[in-house]
Amino acid sequence: MASLLIVFHSRTGGTEQMAKAAAKAAGEETDVILKRADETEPEDVLAADGYIFAAPENLAALSGVMKDFFDRCYYPVLGKAEGRPYAQMVCAGSDGENAVRQTARIAKGWRLKMVQEPIIICTHAQSEAEILADKTIPETDLETCRELGAAMGAGLSMGVF
d(C-alpha 68, C-alpha 126), whole Å: 25
pLDDT in tens, the chain (161 residues): 899 999 999 999 999 999 999 999 999 999 999 999 999 999 999 999 999 999 999 999 999 999 999 999 999 999 999 999 999 999 999 899 999 999 999 999 999 999 999 999 999 999 999 999 999 999 999 999 999 999 999 999 999 99
Give the helix, strand, coil percentages of the chain, each rounded to 5: 45, 25, 30
Domains and CATH numbers, the chain: 3-158 (3.40.50.360)
* Cβ–Cβ < 8 Å for 69, 9: yes
- pLDDT of 20: 98
- pLDDT of 144: 98
d(C-alpha 128, C-alpha 20), whole Å: 26
- pLDDT of 112: 98
d(C-alpha 59, C-alpha 56), whole Å: 10
- pLDDT of 121: 98
Angle between helices 64-77 and 97-109 (to 10 degrees): 10
Task: Indicate the SS3 state at residue 2.
Answer: coil
| Closest alpha carbon to 91 in 125, 68, 51 | 125
- pLDDT of 47: 98
* 55 φ, ψ (degrees, to nearest 5): -145, 150
- HSE toward the beta carbon, residue 25, CA cutoff 13 A: 19
